Amino acid sequence: MTLTYARLQHFRSYSDGSFEFDPGVNIIVGPNASGKTSLIEAVIVGLQGSSFKARDTELLQHGADWARVDLGFEGSLRVCKWQYQQDKLTKTFDIDNNPYKRLSHQKTEPVVLFEPNHLLLLHGSPELRRSFLDDLISQLKPDFASIRRHYKRVLTQRNALLKQHHQPSTDQLFVWSLRLSELGGRIVAERVNILEQFNEVMSELYSTIAGNETSVTLQYNSLLPTSNYETKLLHKLEQNIARDHMVGFTTFGPHREDIEILLNNQPASQTASRGEVRTLLLALKMLEAQFIEEARGKKPILLFDDVFSELDGKRRQALVGFLKPYQSIITTTDADVVVGHFSERANILAL
């Protein structure tokens, strides 16, 4: 599907803004705080059902009691509406006049986002790396987003018991430990599987972008062996009830694990240069688009929010070549940094 236009009403800083898009490269130019990221955010909400950075209550323009995002495609229309009713905010979707309370996996449209926070992927907290992997799997696997939500709910329930003044009994916790281990086993299996897919092609792609042969490995770091993970996690949860009660939270599980990237068998977080970090991120995003296209049978829309200037000439050239088969939206504060790299016509929208 090709996005042809977007209309934002009472969304973030927009009272009523409309934008038309071309099938190829679209460059959104404007100073900081002009609404570039809000436009990217609106597109993602309309396609995926939720923002990548905020709760629904934060998306409405200040003082507004409703908001609306319309996304037009060739022969199709997607609408997301927010409305306050008796101080409660409700969100609904409409796809070609068919209403939905939420978007199932089948009703979402694939996207790949590259935004400034991703530049912290290697050196930031493990949560950033877990989220990167889990967000990708959610686009590939129809039931993974549901598994992820249920895991968080069960974890919240187990932690609530652990925070009680008196240590809960083994019987009280067992039902939550059992369910947590079942869901955790499925999460870890999917994480390990997608990392194996990355490892099959990552070294070759990275070496092509960098111009020198480099070994790249994505490694899943867990305190538990990933084979038969469900059983081992349940045993560890039961074994550590006293410790978990003392600290007030669950100390083992997928929510405590990490992903490490190795360059030539050395931790990239410790040894990678600025250029190597950006090459890694660019390669990850390229493969993300490829995996999504293969799994969904359609090309994702690529959204690059103010990161083009973070790449040097070689990496910009690699990105430009990668963008050609896709519809893309690129935001920037400086049009000259982006426009000159595209020999074919780019659609420029000034804010």
Which amino acid would we find at residue 291?
A: F
User: What pLDDT does residue 174 have?
Assistant: 95
**Beta-sheet strands, E only, within 116-221:** 216-221
Hey, is 159 helix, strand or coil? helix
User: What pLDDT does residue 343 have?
Assistant: 65
User: What pLDDT does residue 114 have?
Assistant: 94
User: What pLDDT does residue 217 have?
Assistant: 98
**Beta-sheet strands, E only, within the chain:** 3-11, 14-20, 25-29, 66-73, 76-85, 88-95, 98-100, 111-114, 216-221, 258-263, 266-267, 301-305, 328-332, 347-350
Side by side, which strands form the sheet with 347-350?
111-114, 301-305, 328-332, 25-29, 347-350
Alpha-carbon gap, residue 335 to 30, rounded angstroms:
8
Hey, is 29 helix, strand or coil? strand
User: What pLDDT does residue 86 have?
Assistant: 86
**Beta-sheet strands, E only, within 144-215:** none
Angle at the Cα of 184 from the Cα atoms of 258 and 91, rounded to 5 degrees: 95
Stretches in the chain below the pLDDT threshold 70: 343
